Each structure stands twice: as structure tokens, then as C-alpha cells.
Amino acid sequence: MKKDRKASVGNKGDLTQGSPKRQSRRQFLVKTGGILAAGAFGAVPLRGWAADPINIGALYPTTGSMAQIGVGCVSAAKLAIEMINEAGGIKSLGGAKLNLIVSDVQSDTTVTRTETDRLITGNKLSAIHGCFASALTLIASEVCERAKVPIITGSSSDQLNKGRNYTFTPFARASQFAKAQLQMAKLVGDKPKVAVIFENTAFGTSTSNGLKELAPGEGVEIVMFEPYSAGFTDASPLINKVKASGANALFSVSYLNDLILIVRTVKQVGLNVAINGGSGGFVIPDFYKNVGKLAEGLQGVAHWNHDMSDDAQKVNAEYKKRTGEFLFEYAGGLVAQTFMLADALERAASADPQKVRDALSTLDVSKGYAAMAPGGKVKFGPDGKNVYGHPVGVQWQNADLASVFPDEDKRAPLMKT
């Protein structure tokens, strides 16, 4: 593997720069559960030799169109590895440390296939996590299935759970997001009238069709269902149609740049409508950076949010200290996934990928960092899907994302707009 596509951080490398930072990191680990993690996994055996490191592959786009999210995921992965290693590593394997091997999939499906294969054949891996973007993860998981290497992912495509034995998805599925959005529309009024606008791509079409199919059963009336060309430069004609439709809520199935333009145009034409921007680009810090106070009160859905538990808030505080931004859904979910892998390795007492896969299949946690998911529980069913998985509804409040739906996951009251 080329050096620029392989970065080992098991020895903390660039994350440790001088004793003051090391001390502060250790204080963080003690205060936020590193000691609890060590206690949960048992005492570190006294050995006269250093246990071999355990290689975990990380497939993320750190260049290309998806790099912004990919870079944040890698930062979160490094933090999670650091937390586990500082807490004593994998106790059942003599305190073995996790070693992260990052491969840049360059936001490209073809590169994803070759890099996944290269990562597996060029390294002795116990497991892989990645890629967050479903189009990339579907490719990576195919390669992992053939190689019999487990992959755990925050991607939401329902296809990932069909006919797979080595793929694990601890968070909400795409089919659940549409239902959550429709249910959130009732937070705005008793008789929601929704305009659905969507980019004319596979992502936009499939997601919007899910909204259309589920709307009648949720008591939501769709008064407008309109595709648009992804990457457009003028949203005025589209938003004027929304205004004429009589809708009191707008669902925009869009990636970040299109959504930014849509939100700005809604304001420019003076349209007073509740907006649910779904997931993806809507729930990352850059959305607020681009639209500012226009984001206040806007709603969305996510598979993870940083206020969902005390553990999540503690990790978020450390991530924010390091990066200057809050821990967004893909990055936060990745921290949880890394602890799920640590749990599986601990129970398997082996770095063998087949044994790790078998241990993942019996994962059942309801506390600690591995349980950082909506509802606080993770248990994989026969299809590798978390049986408790569901999305959390969020709202932009005071330049931050607050969990507001459903009631059991609510951390802040809904802000009326």
C-alpha cells in the first residue's frame, strides 16, 4: 500500500505533542469513562512482552467531494482508538493496542473497490469500519464479504443488510428516516401539508419515493412532489412553486450545496414554512456556517447526535476541543462503532476476523461508549442490523443541534418557528 494511503495511529503519532497535552488527554480519559472501560474489560495481565497490535482498517474519503465529512470521521476514529488504548487496550489479549490503518477512498466508487481490496490483502486486519456514504459502503462491504472480514458502518442503506454475513449496521436504516420525518411534520401542526422537493438522482428519487409511500399511513398530505436538477444555481422557480402549493412544511431531499441554496431562497421569497432537511449535509457544522441564523429552528433527522447521553456529550467536548466543531452524526457514530469492535475483540479474545465477526454478531450492550445510539442499546440481529436502531429528530438551536424527537430521545423542547 502506498504510504499516502496508509496511516498508522496505534502509537498515537501526531496526536501526542508534549507532556501537557498527554496529561490533559489522560485526565479526559479518567473523567469520561476510560477508567470505567478498563474496569469493564478486567485488569491488565502482567506480561514480560508487548502484545501484538490489532489492526483496524478505516475506509474514508479524505479527498474528493466527500472529503469534508471523511476527514472529520478520521479525526473521530483516532480519538476513539486513543481512548481505548489509554484505557489499557484489549485486556483478554494482554493489553493489545488497536492500530488504525486509514485508506483514502477518494469519494469514488472505483477507488473504493481497489482500496478495500488493497487494505485487506496488504494488512493483517481484524475488522474494518467505513465509509459513511452508502454508495461507497455498498462497494466496500461486497469486498469485505468475499474476504470474510467484518465491516461495521454508519451507512444507512437498507441494501447493506440483504444477503450479508460480515456487515454490521448499528444505526437507523434509510427506510426509517422517511417515517421519522413524516412524524416530525406533526410537531408543526395537526394537519401537515408537505411539499417534497428532491434532486433527480438515485439518492433523491429513492428517498422521496419512500416519503410518498409512507405519507398516507402517517396522516400527512403531500401537496407537492417535485424533482430538480442536482447542482442547480437558481432555486427561485422551485421555491415559488412551493409557495403556491399551500404547504406548511417543506422536505428537501438534497445534498449540502443544494440545500444551502434552497434555504437562502426560502428566506429571499418570504416563504414562511417549516423545513425538515433530512440527514447528511443538513446535520453537519458546515451547514450552519453557510446559512447562519437562517438555520435556527430548522429540523432534520440523524442516526446519532452528540447530546444523546452523558458519554456522547463527554466525547463531543473532547472532539470540539481538538477540532473546533461539534461531533456530527457520522463521526460520533464512528466513536461508538470503535468501542463495539473493542467489545467484540475482548469477548473473542482473538484478533482473527472470523472470531471477531462471530463476537460482533452476539453484541448486546446497554451502557458505555459502545451503547451510544438512540435509545442507548445495540444488539445485532441475524441480518447484522441493530434491532433497537432508530433515528433521532434534531433541530438547529443556538448554532447547535438539539435532539427533539421522539420523546424518549428528546434532550431539548422543540423551538417553535
Task: Compute the CA torsion angle 201, 207, 209, 210 (nearest 10 deg).
Answer: 170
Please indicate whether the domains covering 3-172+307-386 and 175-302+393-409 agree at the CATH topology level.
yes
* Matching residue, cell 411534520: 185
Is the separation of the CB atoms in 370 and 364 below 8 Å?
no
The C-alpha cell of 45 is what? 495481565
- pLDDT of amino acid 201: 79
- pLDDT of amino acid 327: 97
Contacts of residue 134, Cβ cutoff 8 Å, sequence gap at least 6: 155, 156, 157, 159, 160, 174
When pLDDT is cut at 50, 70 and 90, the band that residue 27 belongs to is low
Task: Tell me: cis bond preceding 237? Omega within 30 of 0 counts.
Answer: no
- pLDDT of amino acid 259: 94
- Average pLDDT on 298-314 reads 96
- pLDDT of amino acid 65: 86
- pLDDT of amino acid 50: 62
- How big is the CA angle at 103 (ends 98 and 106), to the nearest 5 degrees? 150
> Which residue(s) pair with 152 in the sheet?
129, 168
Average pLDDT, the chain: 89
> Which residue(s) pair with 221 in the sheet?
193
* Matching residue, cell 473504493: 112
pLDDT over 80 (residue 326): yes
pLDDT over 80 (residue 296): yes
- pLDDT of amino acid 306: 97
Contacts of residue 139, Cβ cutoff 8 Å, sequence gap at least 6: 109, 112, 113, 116
Share of the chain above pLDDT 90, in %: 77
CATH number for the segment(s) 175-302+393-409: 3.40.50.2300
pLDDT over 60 (residue 33): no
- Among the ranges given (161-170, 186-195, 344-353, 391-400), the one the predictor scored with the smallest mean pLDDT: 186-195
pLDDT over 90 (residue 25): no
pLDDT over 90 (residue 39): no
Q: Is the dihedral of CA 298, 299, 304, 305 positive or negative?
A: positive
- pLDDT of amino acid 164: 94
pLDDT over 60 (residue 352): yes
Is the separation of the CB atoms in 336 and 370 below 8 Å?
yes
Domain ranges of the chain: 3-172+307-386, 175-302+393-409
Q: Which helix (H) or strand (E) holds 55?
A: strand 54-60
pLDDT over 60 (residue 38): no
pLDDT single digits (tens) 157-203 = 888 999 999 999 999 988 899 999 999 999 888 889 999 999 887 77
- pLDDT of amino acid 203: 73
d(CA 29, CA 318): 10
- pLDDT of amino acid 12: 37
pTM over 0.75: yes
Look at the chain and count its residues.
417
* Matching residue, cell 433541530: 395
Amino acid at 284: I
d(CA 255, CA 269): 21
The C-alpha cell of 342 is what? 473493542
pLDDT over 60 (residue 43): no
d(CA 199, CA 186): 24
When pLDDT is cut at 50, 70 and 90, the band that residue 41 belongs to is very low
pLDDT over 70 (residue 144): yes
The superfamily (CATH) of domain 3-172+307-386 is: Response regulator (3.40.50.2300)
pLDDT single digits (tens) 89-108 = 999 999 999 999 999 999 99
- Average pLDDT on 381-393 reads 97
pLDDT single digits (tens) 216-251 = 999 999 999 999 998 899 999 999 999 999 999 999
Is the separation of the CB atoms in 134 and 157 below 8 Å?
yes
When pLDDT is cut at 50, 70 and 90, the band that residue 204 belongs to is confident
pLDDT over 80 (residue 22): no
pLDDT over 60 (residue 35): no
Q: Left, alpha or beta for 243 (phi > 0: left; psi -120 to 50: alpha)?
A: alpha
